[in-house]
Structures are given as structure tokens and as C-alpha cells.
Structure 1
């Protein structure tokens, strides 16, 4: 008997997706160990101190010490990710652009979905790094992905496509894996970190989860991403948090008539 894909109660919980989904995750690095960073932002200073295994932080009204994972995106550009062991409803992503003296903090707050609200809320805070020279364009929200259709491969068994529709929405479809045949349109937010390198975040409405990724789109045939997923387990009682990576390629770009362009 075939599965009714329209019945969302059949959809896998986040902890059902995790086994093997992280096969294409990049190796972690310890380049940040022994360094302390202060980020100056409109919401006040944020501090992050890294050792070989843990980060101690104070940012956006939250603080603590947690194990972290760090990935290098490209030269002097890092993505660090951790889940607070004390505030279990908080996961943190930190983008550090040491070459350009800029940073992006994203606090993922896990709650309960309601009418007009997803379970995960993302708190975005951009800033400059104290002691570094701020260079290049400031990190800011960007419409540059709109119109692109990208195929993402997370493992030998997991593949999806993304269609970036507007500053608010994107559509995903599972091409391979336990969610094959499922598709939906969910809310997203995109920031450009450097030319061609984007932070892409999404918040799902069916499965109570959200994601933060950073991807280098400069080579359309060999896009590379690093990311994390954060949400509730099947019972809805315990947070699930894990990191992953993907290899992508640009399938197509949609060009709208100027007067109908959703990016404007």
C-alpha cells in the first residue's frame, strides 16, 4: 500500500531523518581554538571565547559554555555551531569573516508552532569584529538567490532540490531518501556574507524544525554547504540538534519580467 504523501502525519520527525544525513559533512577544524572575539552590533557587544572543545559566549541576552563544531567555508571565513546544554531551546550559529572583520550571529529559539508562527524563530544580529579592520560590504539580507533552482546531495541516500522563490519563501522537494516525494514551501531568510557566499536559513511549518546553512555558490557546478538542523523529536519533548553538509549544483535560473520580479 503506497504512502499518502498528502497526509502530513505520515511525515518523518526530525530524529527520523538524522541517520546518515550527515555523510557529506565537512571535517571540523580547530582554527578558532585559543581565540576570543568581540562582535560590535546594534544590539550591544557579543563575546565568544573558543578552546579546543568548548565555546564560552555571551550574546543577545544568552550566555553559557558548550561543545562546538567549527567549519571553514573558504579563506578566513568560518561557521561555528553549538547547542546550549543549559537553555535546551537555544542553538547558536556564528559566522566569522576574519578577512573582512565582520560577523553574523544567529540564535535559533525552539518553541511551539501556532497560527502564523513556526516552532523555530531565528534571531539575526550582524556586526563587526573588534580588533579587525572592517572591509568590503556589510553582511546584509540579500535577494540574490531568488530564481535559482539548486540540487543538493547530503549523502549517497539523501538528495533534495531547493527553489528560491522570494525574500520570504522557498520550495523544497526530496529527490532521494526516506522523504522521497515530499515537498513543501517554507519561510526563509538569506544573508550575503561575501560575493557569492550566502547564509540560507529556513523554518519548516509541518516538522517543527529550522536550519541554518552557509553555502559557497561561486562555482555553480560545485556548490558547497555546511549547516545544522534544530527542532523537536517525534514525541515533541526533547530537542534534536545535528550538523550536516551538502554538495550542490545549479540546475536553472528563472528570469522574471522586470515588473513581476519577486526580488524587487
Structure 2
């Protein structure tokens, strides 16, 4: 009889993904640049990117005030002039900020994630359902806007999409780590680990999809068992992904793990329901 697969902390997951991973190299496209981000509600923020760290500062109240902080960052570029910038704001334990910056078209999407406290994670799924809450205690907010120019009625902002729904994809993160995703509907996807430190594990989790360009998507998921936030760009032209996974290092909630991930993608099939 086989052993029961066990859910592991995000820190242990990072250790499994690290060797010979398919992550992208650091992108220098933003180094030394200062960008002004104009949010859809009219608020503004300034992004200053230095060699060692970056700083996102709200200039006005509104959406921008919820997206601010400073910290050491990672920047990667899956396509020319599109940069994923990610960092953990200093002094804000459990918080994460990610920005997708389309420099050629002057567009951005901001993702602010917050990990739950230990007492929130300990609550049962049934109690959350009774309270009308999401099953996952991981919180996430999104904002869209323009770079260095105000948003107008004609701005083609990044937007939610259903183009991934129905796809069944396989993702090879390293020689030892391989997963399968099935994008079920606009709210949920299912995953299973085919090979690696989570082999045999599977679940259905809350997710969000945004279209950035033709066959390029921002995919964000929030896990409910082990508190986890994933922020990944999926390029179906190059069959490549790049992003990050964020969670707690261990089971004591005192230390964080925010590690890069990248995969070689394979489309297995596309299900279309005849309803």
C-alpha cells in the first residue's frame, strides 16, 4: 500500500525547485529608471529602480496607496520590453508586490498579495464557507494602468480573460519537477504534481487570469491548504513560463519564502464543453 502524500511548506518546495530550474536570467531593462504609474482610478505612484533595490511610492490617494513599498527585487523579461518585477516590501511581513510592465505599450498590472496569519490558516474550510468567505485565506488585489501617461477612455489596459479556460497543460520546471494544470473556469484551476517533491499531491485552488498580449497571460493562484501565492506569466507562443511562488518558509510563520519559478510548457489538450 502506498504512503499518503504530504503537503509541505513553501520553503521545502523552493528547495526542490532550485536545482537546474528553468527560470529566466535577471533583466536589466528597468535598472536606473524612474517610471510614473497612472492607475485606472486616477491615482499615481512612482517606481524607482536602482541596482540593488526598487521603491514604489504612492503619489496620491486611491488605488496607488495600496501598492507601495521598498525592497530587493527580481526582474525578468519573458518577451521583449515586458518585464515582471517582484519584491517583498521591507517592514511588511507577509506582503508581496509584483508588477508586469509593458514598456513598449506603456501599460502595467500590479499584484499585491498578503499571506494570512497563523490563526486564519487554522480555521476550518467549513467555518469559512459558513461565513461566506473564500476557502483560501491568502489575499490578493489587482490594479491596472498606464506608464508615464494618464489613463483615458481609449487606453487598452490589461484585462481579465477566459482564453486559458479548458486548457490542460504540463509544466517542466526542472529535471526533477513536473506539474499538470487544468484551467477549469474563471475562478478555479486544478493542479497535480507528476514528478518532484510534491509527487502525488493535487488540489483545486482559486485563480485569476489576465491577458497581456497575444498568447501571453498573467496567471495568479491562491492555495488554501498551505498558504501560497503564485504569480506567473504564461507564454503560449514560446511555450515558456516565468514568475514566482510566495509563502512561509516553514510551519511557524516567522520566515518567508519568495522564490522564482520558470517552466517549459506543453499543451496536452483543450476541452470545450458542448452545453
TM-score (normalizing by structure 2): 0.86
Q: Deviations over 1:134-184 (max 9, x none)?
A: 988420010000000000011110000000000000000100001111111
8 Å contact kept, 1:173–1:181? yes
- State how far apart, in whole Å, the 1-side matches of 2:90 and 2:244 are: 16
Match of 1:52 in 2: 51
Select which of 245, 248, 253 maps to 1:236: 253
Residue segments in structure 2 that go unaligned for 5+ positions in a row: 58-63
SS at match of 1:49: strand
- The range that moved more, 16-25 or 192-201, is 16-25
- State how far apart, in whole Å, the 2-side matches of 1:208 and 1:95 are: 23
Residue segments in structure 1 that go unaligned for 5+ positions in a row: none
- State how far apart, in whole Å, the 1-side matches of 2:22 and 2:84 are: 16
Select which of 179, 187, 198 maps to 2:198: 179
8 Å contact kept, 1:100–1:133? no
Distance 1:26 1:11, change over 3 A: same
**Following superposition of structure 1 onto structure 2, how do residues 198-217 of structure 1 map, counting pairs within 5 Å?**
198-217=217-236
- The range that moved more, 46-55 or 183-192, is 46-55
Q: Deviations over 1:80-139 (max 9, x none)?
A: 111122102211110000111100000011113352332321110000111499988420
Aligned residues: 251
Select which of 214, 217, 228 maps to 1:195: 214
Higher helix residue share: 2
TM-score (normalizing by structure 1): 0.89
Using the TM superposition, give the Cα deviation of residue 4 of structure 1 relative to its aligned residue in structure 2, in angstroms: 1.6
Residue 226 in structure 1 maps to residue 242 in structure 2: yes
Distance 1:144 1:136, change over 3 A: farther
- State how far apart, in whole Å, the 2-side matches of 1:64 and 1:181 are: 38
